[in-house]
Chain A
Amino acid sequence: MLRVFRDLFRYNREFAIGTILVLIVLSLAVASFFSPYPPQDSYVVPPDVPPCWAYPLGTNSRGQDVFWQLTVAMRNSLLFGIAVAFLSRIISLVIGLVSGYAGGVVDRVLMSINDTFVVLPLFPILTLFYFMMHDHMSWTLLALAMASLGWPYDARLIRSVALSLRNREFTTQSVFSGMSTSQILLGEHLPYALPIVISTTINNINWSIGLEVTLSVIGFTNIETPTIGTMIYWANQHTAMVAGIWWWVLAPVATVIMAFIGLFLLSVSINEFIDPRSRLARMGA
């Protein structure tokens, strides 16, 4: 496992860049635990100071240190993405594995429900959800709502792997040796589906962070929880761009772009690693 990692890092440029970017973002998130100020407090430092030695990313109009604010925001955004990805994985694994293994009518019914959820425009639906909840909207509720809507694309990919395992000999042998369906799915098929699960999980983290940023920036989440989105929201509320406090907007935007590209490159390179054809193409065969 460690050798695979080392080789990937050495020979796959996407993987190397992705790992470095994700590590930078992760260390920012971890740094949040050493923040000298509580994240929600305002007017702890002089407002509107441009980046300097004392405040590496400046301070904002609410009297907060942008750097420490950023670390907490990044941590919350990442945790949000991971929570949504983890919860939606459960649904997509169940639907994908069952659909691929069962085939026939079950497969067709599940996949047509799946395709239905794929095309639903989520933003208006989540906006409506916020409209109904208003002040009761919380980090957890939004994560639950997004997890219950964000599974279908990955379920389809997992199903395609499960479908190819259905007619393999070891599946038949498992059936004959008396294993139950759930035992076969979890013990025999899940390990084969894991690589694609990892890469789709990373993509799903990206997707959830992106949607969270969007909803927060418009103010459709709990704006008191510091995330990358709410950070930009408060900057917009204080018209930071017009007032010339560009570092307040630039810091979260640049960091979140780093996170997106880093995670995306990781998922792309893992995908490539799974698919032997593209590995051969890289070697020049």
Chain B
Amino acid sequence: MLCRGRWIVEFPRMRAYAWYFIRRLGQFLLVVFVGINVVFIVTHATPIDPVEQAISSATQFGQSDPRAVEIMRKALRELYGLNGTIWEQYVTFWRRLVTGDFGPSLSAFPTPVSALIAQALPWTAGLLSTSTLIAWGAGNLLGGLAGYYRKNRLLKGIGIAATGLQPIPSYIMSLVVLILFGYLWPILPISGGFQMNISPELNIRFLSSVVTHSILPVLSLVLITIGAWFVGMRSLVSNIVTEDYVVYAELAGVDRRRILGSYIMRNALLPQLTGLALSLGAIFNGAVITEFVFGYPGLGTLLVRGVNSGDYSLVLGIASISIVAVAAAVFVIDLLYPLLDPRVKIE
């Protein structure tokens, strides 16, 4: 009997959560669908044919046999999935994405593009998640404190610094960090993901090398994003402080730390989490650019290398995978949201 009673209470809540899950899944699929279509339009509506481009760069040094060129043209068309009508190409395009098979890379022949991306993806994911966790966590904590203790000198100083840091784009920030710690005060490695003469095994030496090489990229990324979280949280908290329930809690003598933690910050975290989901695309851009500046072996460096070596499949593969990866990360954050906001379950 008891079990049945609980079931009745739990059931509508579960159903609300399932409904929320389905809606977010729909949004995830929409992002992937629209993003991949944008990629398809970019690659197919532009007047330049990647096949002809590859051929002209291959034949620019000296005369080639026209028959050989014809064979090459055919092979490249097949390789790039540019055979048949536009609709057939569209279907091929999706089939390749779903199976994760973008064909072999032209610059690192015959390694498949998917293998190159699989090698680079963990580096980007690690860099992105570490720096985002640090920046979002520290930015919100400090911003919350600054909104609550408005008279504190130190927090005011941090506020001014955060306002100055906020508008600087990732490339400029990475360059400044690189110049500071690469040329003026060279204490940390400025290039690569780990030391060259260490074999990538799971031991202390390798891991510590990975950590020291990641400090500057992570530092740049944290400096780029922390300002926005700080300023956003500060203004949210300073608005919530004037709410009646906070004033009441203060009058009732609730511990101030508890007011800040569970009365104010928890409410202010919700829009900040939504903000994180919405800005993930921009944060990803920043990470990709920072990787390029520091020669970090992630997607960004691979992307630039792909462009410079004229590797169509690689560039296309990275653009498509980036869209899916960012959409998936947003989806994960969306699924975490109900843990913080119990109202989602009842809605």
Contact = CB atoms under 8 A, between A and B. Distances in A.
Interface of A: 14, 112-113, 115-125, 127-134, 136, 153, 206, 209-211, 213-214, 217-218, 220, 232, 241, 249, 253, 256-257, 260-261, 263-265, 268, 277-278, 281
A127 B31 contact: no
A264 B227 CA distance: 12
B201 to A, nearest CB: 31
B331 to A, nearest CB: 10
The 5 closest A-B pairs by CB, nearest first: A210-B169, A264-B167, A123-B285, A124-B319, A260-B167
A134 B172 CA distance: 24
A34 to B, nearest CB: 27
A278 B239 CA distance: 9
Contacts of B327: 119
14 contacts: A115-B278, A116-B34, A121-B284, A123-B289, A125-B35, A125-B38, A127-B307, A127-B319, A128-B39, A130-B307, A131-B306, A209-B169, A249-B175, A257-B172
A128 B316 contact: yes
B312 A131 contact: yes
A229 to B, nearest CB: 8
B238 interface: yes
A256 B169 CA distance: 10
A210 B167 CA distance: 9
Contacts of A131: 50, 306-307, 312, 315
Interface residues of B, number: 55
Interface in B255-288: 277-278, 280-282, 284-285, 288
Most buried by A among B30, B167, B169, B326: B167
B238 A119 contact: no
B42 A206 contact: no
A63 B47 CA distance: 37
Interface string B305-331: 011000010011011001100110010
Given A112-B30, A253-B176, A218 B304 contact: yes
Nearest to B329: A119
A261 to B, nearest CB: 6
B31 A119 contact: yes
Nearest to A259: B167
Contacts of A113: 30, 34
Contacts of B148: none
Contacts of B336: none
